[in-house]
A and B are shown apart, each in its own frame.
Chain A
Amino acid sequence: MNTLKRILSTLTAVLALFPLSVVPVQAEDTIKIGALLAETGPASFLGAPEAKTLRMLVEDLNAKGGINGRPVELIIKDTGASPEKAVSFAKQLIDEEKVFAIIGPSTSGETMQIKNIAEEGKTLLLSCAAAEVIVNPVAKYVFKVAPSDRFAAEMIFHQMKKMGITKVGVLSSNTGFGKAGKEQLEKFAGDHGIQIAVNEVYDKAATDLTAEVTKLKAANVQALINWSIEPAQAIVIKNARQIGMTVPIFQSHGFANIQYARTAGAAAEGVLFPASRLVVADALDDKHPQKQVVMDYKKAYESRFKEDVSTFGGHGYDAFMILVRALKEGGRDREKVRTSIESMKGFVGTAGTFTFSPADHNGLDISAFAMLTVKDGKFVPVDK
């Protein structure tokens, strides 16, 4: 009996301590933010740096006291780039977790699948994917922070015009990103006087593309454009050079991860691609408005994770920071936060300077892109 009493009293004592120590931290007043990211799978190049970035930012933010004193709770769901998983996780985040906003998905295909779900659930969605169709037509609750593939396509065509290229071959992977990019290329090639002579789609898990590039070589194209986010984009350039194609190779902004240039090695030299200035942060002029932001993020990320920054992690950064700024202004009212994003002007992020409007839920224009190339295994801006 005595023992029981002692145990009970100890228990009460322990329990009495708990409300003091635990509850204030576990305040009901946390802001729940969901994230749907392709941390693993074929698009892990996008999702993994995005997830790392978000974890880092949330940790730092909470250490500094959160947003107006409210800590942020981050719930990351790994979609593995599967649209089906994105759909079920989106429903879970909205219906069960009742998150305030969702960051992601990483890929365009997934985003298009859940665009309506977010809209119906009146949950803010800040997609990290590129396709123009995500914000065109505009959905009230859907935003995106990655510059549109349309601008990337136009950047490429501008560069081609300078180089006097008129006949090109296009390769793209069978993903949402590849498909959307291919459509943009087809749509705007004519405007720039460029003819697409060969237009082929390959499997996202392709392990060799020699026959595909042979088809382009046979058509005597003046340049090759590859549009994909998968490791296959490194294989394309290796195979093209191996079979003796010497024409310029253009990649989409999906190439802006130095790992691709490394795996492609010597074949990557001279590859041209549009990308945000984050990947050439060091080479950026000190007076450039983005210099401070991109350098800060680059340093924080690289010292923490011991790997190079990529534009994709940058999208995670932009999405989170835009949301944080809107939350500071709008408080807990979702409608106010939404309007706050919609009316945000001149927000300097890693991808560019965002100026949103009710008609523009992306907020970026073609100036978000710079034309880059690979020189001695490094990304450098193209000189004029």
Chain B
Amino acid sequence: MIELFFQYLVAGLTYGTIYAIVGIGFNIIYNTTGIINFAQGEFVMLGGMTAVSLHALLPLPLAIAGAVLVTMVIGGLIEMTFIRWLVKPSVLRMIIITIGISILVREAALHIWGEGVRSLPYFTGNEVTAINLGGVRISPQVLWALGIAAVIVIALNLFFKFTMLGREMRACASNRDAASLCGIPTRNMVTLSFVVSAGIGALAGCVVSPITQTQYGIGTGLAIKGFTVAILGGLGNSMAAVAAGFILGILESFSIWVMPTAYKDAISIAILLAMLFVRPSGLFGSREAARLKEF
């Protein structure tokens, strides 16, 4: 019984890690522009797909690094093409643009890679490898994803809190005009935020690829869960997104223990809705700060 409990916990951790690592990416663009980038899932997909393609020629670490770089460039180009030249775009308009971008990227990926499912090899071991902790088994890939999520969160926190560039990016989100008056090149900051979040999305895509597999259309599904945990945790806070990811993943996993599996997604949507009604600022978000935000 106790073993079973931990096995479900591990399953929850696996779900949670996938959600969290995707969810983190939403926060960076939000932190600079105040918008949700609905193309974030496509960055995740692009990262995974590009890495799989590069892996045919390069060793795994280089393929992943290459995929992250390529996706960052694409992220930057997308921002420069579709968003940079807009004069004072409204939040709604920018959100709709990101939805358009997501469709565009998805279709482009379909043309480039076709509809087939690919996946990167497991970083350690293979498809059946598992680490046995007293009868509870966990795939090493989940640990890889956990570790990389932790590194990303710590790096982002340091970046946004302690570097000038990070602070400038945050200033853009708080008040773009004021930031601009202070001499912050707000447009560059927005481009930078797309580049960084594309990179994080791509890295997430590579790490989860052995678990979830990668297909041109996988971004949307991953983004919905990532978005859910970003909201659940409180937008803009990467640490909160990770915590919320685990909470959601574990809840889903235990729901399977006691209820038919089919209700799993109903549960996560119910939690999201309840959250939006009761505490729109998220579990860890500040109500005060949320009131000042445009969106």
Contacts and interface: CB of A to CB of B under 8 A. Distances in A.
Interface of A: 39-42, 44-45, 48, 171, 174, 200-203, 205, 207-208, 210-212, 214-215, 217-218, 231, 234-235, 238, 241-244, 259-260, 263-268
Nearest to A202: B261
B235 interface: no
B11 A211 contact: yes
Given A201-B261, A214-B8, A242-B139, A207 B222 contact: yes
Interface of B: 4, 7-8, 10-12, 14-15, 18, 110, 114-119, 121, 126-130, 132, 137-139, 208, 211-213, 215, 217-218, 221-222, 252-253, 256-257, 260-262, 264-265
A212 B256 contact: yes
A200 B255 CA distance: 13
Nearest to B114: A48
Given A208-B211, A211-B15, A242-B130, A40 B7 contact: no
Contacts of B119: 263
A327 to B, nearest CB: 30
A236 to B, nearest CB: 12
Nearest to B225: A207
Contact of B262 (A174, A263, A267): A174
A217 B11 CA distance: 13
**Most chain-B Cβ atoms within 10 A of its Cβ — which of A48, A244, A259, A260?**
A244
Given A211-B256, A215-B257, A231-B215, A243 B264 contact: no
A210 B14 CA distance: 8
A40 B110 contact: yes
A259 B116 contact: yes
Contacts of B118: 263
29 contacts: A45-B115, A45-B116, A48-B114, A200-B261, A207-B18, A207-B211, A208-B18, A208-B211, A211-B11, A211-B15, A211-B252, A211-B257, A214-B8, A218-B7, A231-B117, A235-B212, A235-B213, A238-B127, A241-B127, A242-B130, A243-B10, A243-B130, A244-B130, A244-B137, A260-B117, A263-B119, A266-B126, A266-B127, A267-B128
A218 B114 CA distance: 39
Contact of A244 (B126, B132, B252, B253): B132
Given A39-B115, A202-B262, A242 B128 contact: yes
A210 B128 contact: no
A210 to B, nearest CB: 4
B213 A234 contact: yes
A234 B211 CA distance: 10
| Residue of A45, A238, A242, A263 contacting most chain B CB atoms (<10 Å) | A242
Nearest to B116: A259
Contacts of B211: 207-208, 235
B261 A215 contact: yes
Given A207-B213, A210-B11, A231-B215, 17 more contacts: A40-B115, A45-B115, A45-B116, A45-B117, A48-B115, A174-B262, A203-B262, A211-B252, A214-B7, A214-B8, A242-B127, A242-B129, A242-B138, A244-B132, A263-B119, A263-B213, A265-B127
Nearest to B260: A200
A101 B36 CA distance: 46
B217 A40 contact: yes
Contacts of B10: 210, 243
Contact of A201 (B127, B132, B252, B262): B262
B256 A215 contact: yes
Contacts of A40: 110, 115, 217
A214 B139 CA distance: 14
A218 to B, nearest CB: 5
Contact of A231 (B126, B139, B213, B262): B213
Nearest to B252: A211
A159 to B, nearest CB: 22
